[in-house]
């Protein structure tokens, strides 16, 4: 049997929170799902815009809005400086759309990650001054650590407003206004806003101020399609506030009330907007927008989100589709190389552990491998994976780190040559980190920086994802220091827990329930998609393309066979004598030749003979 951790252990309606018991009378499974996610009151499931937290709670928002209001009235040239990911792209597009309708003179600039790196650097400020001659700079999804960039802008008399959501434990730059729910002294009760969420709040408050004064304004809620896309694509935690934002953005797209760029991207992906789900922001739309920043320049993605011309939207969406295909090819090659390095290191570790006569714990051994053709550095300490290779692509390292984290359940950092032209330093390498529950990756990197100030040039990020830049010559030192931080953590952190929402009732195995379950809430990071387990009788099986396991199953009191698929299954784990299986699965609807059928998406299984 599988070793699973239940999210909720109650088995009777009267064990549920009182507020959920009326719902349980209609669907005990759905009520149990909510209870397992900490929902105890009906208002926690409300989706009205009136239930959003008030903007006034955001520290700095009043001053930011005052400055923007004056800038619009006086015709000041405003420059939006964004980031090169989907959150940054949607934040920039949101600012451009809303401020333009309010009458602002506004343009945008996004740093090319391959030339300037991340954030409001002095070089980006100088480029902005040279190209746009701004009187005000507004950052979106960046800037909270940009002390030097703010100083450079202010030296030319430019007003700076920072809107960001990244974590910081340091004093913020002395900009004229800083809006970030994660800055010190901010009492905004949701810390989960991503960059586009912060921009939405600033613009909403500005629109209200101008409306009350009888000035040109806009209904900012009409742009919630962008907010929803950026929130899910940036893996924002789906607390109540973010679920409301995504709910309305998703509804707008399903009704066709969204920017042409999103519709054109869905057309490229062969997806019907009316059938869109929240997860599609992360798996369908987000990667195509992100491909611009990873493989070329994010300006293509932003222009796609800004255009009001359908043929232009289609052309830009096609360009993004091609960039995404290139990204997938590069990513695949890098993943294969990374897997080979880790596999080789595992083999070396096994060999070393059997021949080590000092009795040292093998977890403390750091191994670095050098390729005969191109250097490949790695550590394969059992508590982390840190890799670097000279020919790896900087734009894809975050995805590869994420895949390694998922397949090995270890914090993973992947480095590539920085190629930051303005630094003039060939020795710099850029890393992207992805983490597991219990390891706050940004704080872990900060701990290294505090203990070894000479090792890390720049860093920033969140609990689950971060970025950093170091010198190539400091790689070994960083690996050792990072391992020391990991060694301080309890062993239990590195033992993956697989959660379940329990068994389904017989009546839940239906198209109706699967369809309603998908729309019952906004599922995602921090509000985990439903996943169930159960023991099934095996009616038949077959292995497709040597890597996908197809099952036909029977479940107690269900009068028809239930189909299941386990993608990328290790066929060596299957026992052909299996009579029953214990499955961990998600409910899915399979569409083929215009027909719909229920399908279980298997995430793990144990054979019962």
Average pLDDT, integer, range 311-340: 96
Do 168 and 281 reside in the same domain of the chain?
yes
**Sequence-ordered strand ranges (E) for 528-576:** 532-544, 548-554, 562-566
Which residue in 353, 395, 95 sits closest to 223, CA to CA? 95
Do 414 and 526 reside in the same domain of the chain?
no
The reported pTM is 0.90
Do 480 and 506 reside in the same domain of the chain?
no
- The pLDDT score that the predictor gives to residue 178 is 98
- The pLDDT score that the predictor gives to residue 420 is 52
Would you say residue 597 lies in a domain?
Answer: yes
Question: What percentage of the chain exceeds 90 in pLDDT?
Answer: 83
Q: Higher pLDDT residue, 142 or 372?
A: 142
Do 535 and 464 reside in the same domain of the chain?
no
Looking at the DSSP bridge assignments, the partners of residue 602 are: 585
Would you say residue 26 lies in a domain?
Answer: no
Do 341 and 471 reside in the same domain of the chain?
yes
Element (H, E) at 320: helix 310-355
**Does 331 score more than 90 pLDDT?**
yes
Domain residues for the domain of 517 are 498-608
Looking at the DSSP bridge assignments, the partners of residue 4 are: none
Specify the CATH number for the domain of residue 520.
2.40.50.460
Of 325-334, 369-378, 445-454, the one with minimum mean pLDDT is 369-378
pLDDT confidence tier of residue 114, bands split at 50, 70 and 90: confident
Q: List, for residues 566-581, the tens digit of each pLDDT value.
A: 998 988 888 888 899 9
Do 484 and 579 reside in the same domain of the chain?
no
Do 288 and 202 reside in the same domain of the chain?
yes
Average pLDDT, integer, range 256-269: 97
Would you say residue 144 lies in a domain?
Answer: yes
- The pLDDT score that the predictor gives to residue 199 is 98
Would you say residue 32 lies in a domain?
Answer: no
Residue 402 CA to residue 551 CA, distance in Å, equals 29
DSSP labels, 327-349: HHHHHHHHHHHHHHHHHHHHHHH
- 178: exposed, middle or buried (C-beta count within 10 Å: 0-12, 13-18, 19+)? buried
Domain stop point among 494, 529, 550: 494
Would you say residue 46 lies in a domain?
Answer: no
Average pLDDT, the chain: 91
Which residue in 405, 375, 408, 406 sits closest to 392, CA to CA? 375
Q: List, for residues 352-397, the tens digit of each pLDDT value.
A: 544 433 333 322 223 333 333 334 565 544 799 999 999 999 999 9
Do 73 and 110 reside in the same domain of the chain?
yes
- The pLDDT score that the predictor gives to residue 425 is 56
DSSP labels, 226-282: HHHHHHHHTT----HHHHHHHHHHHHHHHTT-S-HHHHHHHHHHT--GGG--HHHII
Do 595 and 454 reside in the same domain of the chain?
no
User: Phi and psi for 277 in degrees, rounded to 5?
Assistant: -120, 165
**Does 89 score more than 60 pLDDT?**
yes
Q: Write down how long the chain is.
A: 609
Residue 83 CA to residue 81 CA, distance in Å, equals 7
- The pLDDT score that the predictor gives to residue 374 is 36
Question: What percentage of the chain exceeds 70 in pLDDT?
Answer: 93
Do 83 and 99 reside in the same domain of the chain?
yes
**Does 483 score more than 60 pLDDT?**
yes
Would you say residue 45 lies in a domain?
Answer: no
**Does 439 score more than 70 pLDDT?**
yes
Specify the CATH number for the domain of residue 141.
3.90.1640.30
Do 258 and 407 reside in the same domain of the chain?
no
Domain stop point among 462, 477, 494: 494
Specify the CATH number for the domain of residue 487.
3.10.310.30
Q: List, for residues 170-206, the tens digit of each pLDDT value.
A: 899 999 999 999 999 999 999 999 999 999 999 999 9
Q: In the sheet where 177-179 sits, what is the strand order?
A: 105-109, 77-81, 136-140, 159-163, 177-179
- The pLDDT score that the predictor gives to residue 354 is 42
Average pLDDT, integer, range 131-156: 97
pLDDT confidence tier of residue 423, bands split at 50, 70 and 90: very low
Residue 441 CA to residue 387 CA, distance in Å, equals 16
Do 160 and 267 reside in the same domain of the chain?
yes
Q: List, for residues 51-76, the tens digit of each pLDDT value.
A: 999 999 999 999 999 999 999 999 99
Which residue in 286, 409, 397 sits closest to 334, CA to CA? 397
**Does 323 score more than 90 pLDDT?**
yes
Average pLDDT, integer, range 474-485: 95
Residue 477 CA to residue 535 CA, distance in Å, equals 49
Would you say residue 6 lies in a domain?
Answer: no
- The pLDDT score that the predictor gives to residue 74 is 98
Domain stop point among 437, 470, 494: 494
Would you say residue 161 lies in a domain?
Answer: yes
- The pLDDT score that the predictor gives to residue 591 is 85
State the total domains in the chain: 3
């Amino acid at each position: 049997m599988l070793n699973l951790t239940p999210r909720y252990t109650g088995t009777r309606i009267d064990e549920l929170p009182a507020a959920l018991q009326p719902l349980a009378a209609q669907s005990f499974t759905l009520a149990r799902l909510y209870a397992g996610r900490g929902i105890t009151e009906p208002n926690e499931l409300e989706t009205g815009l009136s239930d959003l937290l008030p903007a006034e709670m955001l520290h700095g928002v009043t001053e930011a809005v005052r400055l923007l209001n004056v800038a619009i009235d006086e015709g000041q040239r405003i420059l939006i400086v964004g980031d090169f990911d989907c959150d940054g792209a949607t934040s920039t597009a949101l600012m451009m759309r809303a401020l333009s309708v309010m009458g602002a003179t506004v343009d945008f600039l996004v740093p090319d990650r391959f030339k300037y790196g991340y954030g409001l650097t002095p070089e980006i400020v100088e480029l902005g001054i040279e190209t746009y001659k701004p009187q005000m700079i507004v950052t979106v999804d960046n800037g909270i650590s940009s002390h030097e960039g703010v100083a450079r802008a202010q030296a030319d008399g430019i007003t700076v407003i920072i809107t960001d959501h990244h974590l910081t434990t340091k004093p913020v730059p002395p900009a004229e206004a800083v809006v970030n729910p994660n800055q010190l002294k901010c009492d905004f009760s949701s810390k989960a806003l991503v960059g586009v969420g912060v921009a939405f709040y600033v613009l909403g408050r500005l629109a209200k101020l101008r409306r009350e004064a009888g000035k040109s304004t806009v209904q900012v809620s009409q742009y919630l399609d962008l907010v929803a896309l950026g929130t899910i694509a940036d893996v924002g935690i789906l607390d109540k506030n973010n679920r409301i934002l995504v709910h309305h953005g998703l509804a707008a797209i399903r009704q066709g009330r969204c920017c042409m760029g999103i519709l054109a991207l869905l057309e490229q992906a062969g997806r019907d907007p009316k059938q869109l789900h929240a997860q599609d922001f992360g798996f369908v739309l987000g990667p195509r927008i992100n491909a611009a920043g990873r493989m070329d320049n994010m300006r293509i993605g932003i222009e796609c989100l800004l255009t009001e011309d359908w043929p232009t939207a289609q052309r830009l969406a096609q360009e993004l589709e091609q960039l995404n295909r290139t990204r997938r090819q590069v990513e695949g090659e890098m993943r294969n190389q990374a897997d080979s390095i880790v596999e080789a290191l595992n083999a070396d570790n096994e060999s070393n552990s059997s021949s080590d006569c000092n009795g040292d714990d093998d977890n403390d051994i750091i191994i670095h491998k050098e390729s005969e053709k191109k250097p490949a550095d790695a550590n394969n300490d059992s508590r982390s994976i840190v890799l670097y290779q000279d020919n790896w692509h900087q734009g894809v390292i975050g995805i590869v780190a994420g895949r390694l984290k998922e397949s090995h359940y270890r914090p993973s950092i992947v480095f590539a040559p920085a190629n930051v032209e303005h630094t003039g330093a060939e020795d710099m390498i850029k890393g992207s980190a992805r983490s597991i529950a219990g390891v706050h990756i940004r704080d872990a990197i900060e701990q290294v920086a505090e203990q070894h100030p000479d090792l890390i040039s720049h860093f920033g990020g969140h609990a689950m994802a971060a970025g950093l830049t170091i010198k190539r010559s400091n790689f070994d030192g960083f690996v050792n220091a990072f391992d020391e931080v990991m060694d301080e953590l309890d062993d239990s952190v590195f033992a993956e827990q697989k959660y379940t929402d329990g068994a389904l009732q017989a009546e839940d195995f239906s198209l109706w329930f699967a369809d309603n379950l998908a729309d019952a809430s906004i599922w995602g990071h921090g509000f985990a998609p439903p996943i169930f387990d159960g023991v099934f009788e095996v009616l038949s099986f077959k292995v497709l393309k040597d890597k996908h396991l197809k099952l036909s199953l029977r479940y107690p009191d269900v009068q028809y066979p239930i189909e299941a698929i386990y993608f990328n299954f290790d066929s060596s784990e299957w026992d052909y004598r299996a009579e029953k299986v214990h499955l961990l699965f998600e409910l899915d609807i399979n569409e083929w030749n215009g027909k719909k059928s229920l399908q279980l998406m298997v995430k793990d299984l144990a054979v019962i003979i």
